[in-house]
Chains A and B, each alone.
Chain A
Amino acid sequence: MADDAAVTTAPASPATSTGPAAGATRQGRPAAGRPGGGRRAADSKLRKRLEIAFFVAPALAMLALFVVWPVITAVQMSAFRWNGRGPLVDFVGLANYVSVLTDDVFVGSLVNNLVIVVLSIAIQLPLGLAIALLLNRKMWGQGALRTIIFVPYVLAEVVAGVVWFQLLQPYYGVLDTILQSVGLEPPAQGWLGDPDLALWTVMAILTWKYLGLAVILFLAGLQGVPEELYEAAQLDGASWWQVQRRITVPLLGPTIRTWGFLSMIGSLQLFDMVWILTKGGPANATSTMAIFLVNEGTRSNNFGIAGAASVVLFLIALVMAVLYQRLILRRDAKGVA
C-alpha cells in the first residue's frame, strides 16, 4: 500500500518541485545538489521517496490497522443496531445518534467531562504555577520537593486509583479512620459513595495526580525565561511580585497554553481513574463519555450505541481542539512568525 503511494507520487515530483536547488536543500545531499542534473535528481528523489516509504510503511500499516480501521469500523457500527453477534444487517441510520444525544446518562457524562475540563484548569493552573514559582527559587530540599510533586504523575493511573480507593473506603479506610479519631464525622456513604461528593472526590484525586505534570512543564518553561530580564527588572527596582506578574507569567504563556491543551484533551478522554474509583457511579455521578461508551459497548452489548457515542466523543474533542488551536494557541504561532 505504501509502495503504491511512493510509485504514484514519484513521477509527479519533478513537475511540482521548484528546481534542483529546492531538492538539494531538502535532501541535504551534495551529489543531488548539482545544477542541471535533472534526470539524476529525479532518480535520486524517487529513491529517496522509496526509502522514506520503506521506513514509514510499518508505522503506517500499524496506524491503519489499529487507529484508522477501528475509527472507520466505529463509524460504520454507529449506523447499525448490533449486539455483537453475526453480521451488521439492522441499519438504523442516525437513530443511534439520536438515542445517545437524548440519553440522560450520556448528557450527564458530557456535563461531567466539561466540569472536569474547567475545574482541572481552574484548580491546577494557579496551584501549579504557584508551586512552580516556589520551586524555581533556590532553596533547601528543592530537588526532593520537585520529585515528590512529580511522583503521582509517574505512578500508573490504575495503581494510584487502587491506592486511593482503599484510602477512601468508608468507615474502615485510612481517611475516615483519621477523621473519626479527631472527632469528625465522615460522610455516611463514604467519599466515593455519595452522589453529591463523588465527583469532587474524583476531582481532588485527579488534581493530586496531574498537578505534577503542570509543575514540571511550568518549571521547564521557567528555564526559558532569559536571566537578563530578571536582572534588568532588579535594576529597575521591581518587587518579586512585579517580576512574576510582568515577566515570568507572560513569558510562560506558550507553556501554559500548551499545558491547557493537554489538560483539556486528557479531561475529555478521562476513563481509567474513574473506572477504578467508581465505575462511573454512584448513580452516574462520576460517569464520563468514555465510561458511557464502555458500559454500552462491552458491558451491555449495544455496539451501535457505543459506536455512535465514540463518534460523538471524537467530534466534541475535535471541535474543542480546533477551537483551542484557533483561539488560544494561534497567538503563540503568530508570536513566532
Chain B
Amino acid sequence: MTRTQRGATAIALGATVAMLATACAGQGTADQDTADTEGTSTEDAGGDVTLEWWHNSNTGEGKEYYDQVAADFAEANPGVTVQVEAMQHEDMVTKLQAAMQAGTDVPDVFMSRGGGELQNDVDAGLLRDLTDDAADTIDTISAFTGQYTIDDQVYALPFSMGIVGFWYNKDLFAEAGIDDVSPDPTFEEFSGYVDQLQAAGIDPISVGAGDKWPAAHYWYYGVVRECEFETVETAIETGDYSDECFLKAGEDVQAILDKEPFNPGFLATAAQSGPTSASGLLASEKVGMELAGHWEPGVVGGLREDEQVPEWMGWFAFPTFDGQAGDPADQMGGGDAWAVSQDAPDAAVDFAAYLLSDEVQQGFAELDMGLPTNPAATGSLSNETLAQLIPVRDGGGETQLYLDTRLGQSVGGAMNDEIALLFAGESGPQDVVDAIEDAAASQG
C-alpha cells in the first residue's frame, strides 16, 4: 500500500483531486461494484468481444474522458464492447490484488505499477507478453518501457511517467531572501536554502514520515545520486548491496536529517491526507518545500480553499552530492502502465495500444491527468507547473523506479520500515543496507 495515493492523485488536478485525497473518495465506488463480478472477457459465437478495463480515474473530467475513449474504440472496432470499471485508487489496488491471487476474473486491461509487483504477476503467468503484439507502440514509448520489461519481454505499456523532486513555495523562499533558486542545486546550495528558511523562522521541509514512503524517497534519491544506474541494477539482481554507494546514500540522508529541516512532528505526519499532512503543510504555506512526485500540484491544489494549483509553486531537482557516482541527469520516479491479462483476447492488446496513441495521450495531457510518455503528447500539458518536469524527465538520464515498488512489497516494505527508523534516529545508514539484504535473502 505504499503507493496508495501516488498514482491516484496524479490523475487529475484541482477539484477532482480534492475528492480523491479526502474521505469523500469512497463514494465513487458504490455504483461500480455491480458489474465486475461477472468475470472477464466474453466472446460469443458471433465473434463479439467484451473487454473489461479497470482504471482509477473515477472522478470528474478524467472519468468522462476515459469513458469517451472507450466508446471511441468500440465504435472504431465493430463487435468490440469496452466495459469500463472506474475505481477509487485503493479499491482498485485491493481488487486487483484479490483478482491476481485468485488467478481468475483478472480484467483484460488494467493498471500496473511495474517493479516487483509486475514480476510477481509475470511469474504467476497472469500477464500477456506484449513485445510483438504491440511492437509499434513500444517503439514510440521505448524510453519508458525499461521498468516494465522482464527478460527482454515487455509486459505493460507505460502511459504516464513522473519524477520526484522538491516542490517549493516561491513566496516563502523570497521572504527568506533566497532569490536565486537553482533548478538542479548541489547539496551545498540546498543546505543554504534550508539555513536561510530556518533563519527566517520558516520550517524548511515537510515530510510525511508517518506513511514511511515519503521519507524513504530521500534514501532512494540518495541511491540514485551516489550509485551508478548499473550498480543498482546489479545489486537488485544479486541481492548484494555491499557497494559503498548504498551506505553513502544513507549518509546523505543523515546529513540532511542533521540539519533538522523537517516540520515538527514529521515522524507522525501523513503524506497527503488533510491539512496537517506534509502536502497540507505545503498547501497552507507553512513550510518552504516538500519532496514529492508529479502528483503534487494536484494534491496541493485539492488541499487549498480555492482548489486551484497555487501560483507560487516551483520545482527543483533533488540536490547532487560531491563525488557522486550517479549521473546527475538521472532521476527517481515512477509511473503507471497498461497491462493485459494472459487470457485476454487480441482486441485487448489493440485497446491498450490505442490508449497510448498520439490522440489519446494528447487528450490525457490536456487534462493534466499525468505526464504522458508518447513524445507526440508531451507538449500538450495545460498546467505549466507540471510541464516543467518534462524537460528534466526527458533530459537524457535514467529514471529509477521508486525502489520499494522496484523491489516488490516484501523487500520494499522492510526497506521503508528501516528508513523510517533512520528518520526517527533509531537506525543508521548501515542498518538500512542490512535490512534490505536480509529481506532480499529471505526471499530466496
- Distance between Cα atoms of A90 and B444 in the complex (Å): 10
Q: What chain B residues lie within 8 Å of A189 (beta carbons)?
A: 264-268
Q: Is the CB of A86 within 8 A of B408?
A: no
Closest B residue to A96 by beta carbon equals: B442
- Find chain A residues with CB under 8 A from B1 CB: 298-299
Instruction: Point out the residues of chain B lying under 8 angstroms from A105, CB to CB.
Output: 417
A173 to B269, CA, bound (A): 12
For window 1-47 of chain B, which residues contact chain A by CB distance below 8 Å? Answer: 1-2
Contact across chains for B265 and A85 when beta carbons are under 8 A apart? no
Are B424 and A283 within 8 A (Cβ)? yes
A269-289 Cβ-contact flags toward B at 8 Å (1 or 0)? 000000000110111100000
Residues in chain B near residue A282, CB distance under 8 A: 209-210, 267-268, 420, 424
Q: Is the CB of A85 within 8 A of B268?
A: no
A301 touches B442 (CB 8 A): no
Where chain A touches its partner, the secondary structure class is loop
**In the docked arrangement, what's the CA distance between A278 and B413, Å?**
17
Q: Which residues of A contact B268 (CB under 8 A)?
A: 170, 189-190, 192-193, 198, 278, 281-282
Decide yes or no whether B410 CB sits under 8 A from chain A.
yes
Interface residues on A, range: 35 or more
Say whether, besides A170-B264, A193-B266, A299-B413, A85 and B121 are in contact (CB < 8 Å): yes
Q: Which residues of B contact A279 (CB under 8 A)?
A: 210-211
* Cβ of B383 under 8 Å from chain A: no
User: Which chain B positions have C-beta within 8 A of A301?
Assistant: 120, 408-410, 413
For B275, the closest partner residue in chain A by CB is A172
B264 with A188: CB separation less than 8 A: yes
Please indicate the chain B residues that have their CB under 8 angstroms from the CB of A302 in the complex. 410, 413
User: B421 contacts A283, CB within 8 Å?
Assistant: yes
- Among the listed A83, A169, A173, A278, which residue makes an inter-chain contact with B410, where contact means beta carbons less than 8 Å apart? A83
| In the complex, chain A residues whose CB is within 8 Å of the CB of B417 | 105, 284
CA distance A105 to B435 in the complex (A): 12
B124 CB, min distance to chain A CBs, angstroms: 4
Given A169-B276, A299-B413 in contact, is the A85-B267 Cβ separation under 8 Å? no
With most chain A CB atoms within 10 A of its CB, the pick from B100, B263, B267, B444 is: B267
- Which one, B2, B120, B264, contacts A85 given CB within 8 A? B120
Q: Are A85 and B413 in contact (CB under 8 A)?
A: no
Report yes or no: B123 in contact with A85, Cβ–Cβ below 8 A.
yes
With contact pairs A85-B100, A85-B124 given, residues A193 and B408 touching in the complex (Cβ less than 8 Å):
no
Contact with A281, one of B409, B412, B420 (Cβ below 8 angstroms): B420
Residues of A within 8 A of B212 (CB): 281
Q: Does B143 contact A (CB under 8 A)?
A: no
CA A284 – CA B418 in complex, angstroms? Answer: 10
Task: Report the interface size class on chain B.
Answer: 35 or more
Q: Is B101 located at the chain interface by the 8 A CB criterion?
A: yes
Considering only residues 281-310 of chain A, those with a C-beta below 8 Å from chain B are 281-284, 295-296, 298-302
User: In the assembly, what is the distance between CA of A311 and CA of B165, in Å?
Assistant: 43
A336 CA to B420 CA, complexed, in Å:
54
Q: Is the CB of A81 within 8 A of B444?
A: yes
Contacts of A171 in B (CB 8 A): 263-265
In A161-180, the 8 Å CB interface with B consists of 166, 169-173
Q: For the complex, what is the distance from the CA of A84 to the CA of B269, rounded to whole Å?
A: 30
B103 interfacial contact with A, CB 8 Å: yes
Interface membership of A195, Cβ < 8 A: yes
Asked if A300 and B276 sit within 8 Å, CB to CB, the answer is: no
Any chain A CB within 8 A of the CB of B152?
no
Q: A170: which B residues are within 8 A, CB to CB?
A: 264-265, 268
**Contact among B100, B103, B210 with A278 in the assembled complex (CB-CB below 8 Å):** B210
Is B97 positioned at the interface, with any CB of A under 8 Å from its CB? yes
Residues of B within 8 A of A85 (CB): 100-101, 103, 120-121, 123-124, 126
CB A309 to nearest CB in B, in angstroms, measures: 14
Q: How far is the CA of A170 from the CA of B126 in the complex (A)?
A: 46
Name the CB-closest residue of A to B2.
A299
* B426 interfacial by beta-carbon distance below 8 Å: yes
Tell me which residues from 182 to 235 in chain B have a Cβ below 8 Å from any Cβ of chain A: 209-212
Q: Which of B124, B286, B424 contacts A195 (CB 8 A)?
A: B424
**Interface presence of B360 (CB below 8 A):** no
A9 to B: closest C-beta gap in Å: 37
Give complex CA distance A32, B2 in Å.
65
With a cutoff of 8 Å between Cβ atoms, the chain A residues found around residue B412 in the complex are: 300
On chain A, the residues within 8 Å of B124 by CB distance are 85-86
Q: Check A169/B265 contact, CB under 8 A, given A300-B413, A301-B410.
A: yes
The reply to whether B120 and A195 form a contact with Cβ atoms under 8 Å apart is no
Binary interface encoding of chain B residues 114-125 relative to chain A, with 1 for a CB under 8 A from any of its CBs, else 0:
000000110111
B231-268 interface bits toward A, Cβ cutoff 8 Å, 1 = contact, 0 = none: 00000000000000000000000000000000111111
Of residues 255 through 307 on chain B, the ones whose CB sits less than 8 Å from some CB of chain A are 263-269, 276, 286
Closest to B412 in A: A300
Q: Is B181 an interface residue (CB 8 A)?
A: no
CB of B414 within 8 Å of the partner chain:
yes
| Closest A residue, CB atoms, query B438 | A99
A194 within 8 A of B: yes
A-B contact pairs, 9 of them (CB 8 A): A85-B123, A169-B265, A188-B265, A190-B268, A192-B268, A193-B265, A278-B268, A283-B421, A301-B120
Residues of A within 8 A of B (CB): 81, 83-86, 90, 99, 105, 166, 169-173, 188-190, 192-195, 198, 278-279, 281-284, 295-296, 298-302
16 other A-B residue contacts (CB within 8 Å) besides A171-B263, A282-B267: A83-B120, A84-B100, A85-B120, A86-B125, A169-B276, A188-B265, A190-B268, A193-B265, A193-B268, A193-B269, A278-B268, A281-B210, A282-B424, A298-B1, A299-B409, A299-B413
Among all A-B residue pairs, the 7 with the closest Cβ atoms: A170-B265, A190-B265, A300-B413, A193-B268, A282-B267, A283-B424, A85-B124
